[in-house]
Amino acid sequence: MRILVDLDGVIGDIDKAFIEVWKERYPDAPAPEPGTRKEFYIGHEFGDDAGEKAYDIFREKGFFRHTPLMPDAKDALQKMITAGHEVYIVTSAGNDIPYAASDKYQWIDNNFGREWVDRLVITRSKHVVSGDVLIDDKPEVKNHDKANWEHIIFDASYNRHIKNKRRLGWSNWKEVLFP
């Protein structure tokens, strides 16, 4: 099986990274607790000008490089490889977020090792990448109807309204992928 895995919110704990910077920079502004937000785009959670402030954090050099690993994600991906599956990390890097691509390259190298950089696909058009499944926390992946993969939702507080897709976490990935 060829398994495509999203990075932010799936193998990288972007919420943890973001909220830490946010609280440090805007100590008086409201900040959600990790694992509770209802909006997929984290800046939308705070309203008014918070979206722009959030974007400024994403645009900073090194932000994505310092994202902590999601618990059990690395173990799961390594087990997929050991079991003979092809695994690719498919992640987007916004054209207005200049360091995202290089930071993510570094992040894979630092957390998974150099050979995993060959498994990195950076694109905002995930539908053009071929695979059997895409594990992604985004409620609706753009152009998913044109893709040949099945979107499996990576469970998060902001995608629980999606009921028509298989749902997976790193504690039950084997049962969901191979029922």
**Residues identified as active-site:** 6, 8
- Quote the CA–CA distance of 47 and 37 in Å, as a whole number: 13
CB of 136 to Mg ion, least distance (A): 6
Report the residue number, 26 or 66, with the smaller CB distance to Mg ion.
66
Report the residue number, 28 or 142, with the smaller CB distance to Mg ion.
142
* DSSP letters for 47-99: -TTHHHHHHHHHTSTTTGGGPPBPTTHHHHHHHHHHTT-EEEEEE---TT-TT
9 is a site residue for Mg ion (CB under 5 A)? yes
103 is a site residue for Mg ion (CB under 5 A)? no
Report the residue number, 26 or 176, with the smaller CB distance to Mg ion.
176
Rounded to the nearest 5°, which phi and psi values hold at 87?
-125, 130
Q: Which of residues 112-171 bind Mg ion (CB under 5 A)?
A: 137
Q: For the chain, how are helix, strand and coil distributed in percent, rounded to 5?
A: 40, 15, 45
- Please identify which residue in 3, 4, 5, 8 interacts with Mg ion, judged by CB under 5 A: 8
Applying CB under 5 A, the residues found at the interface with Mg ion are 6, 8-9, 137
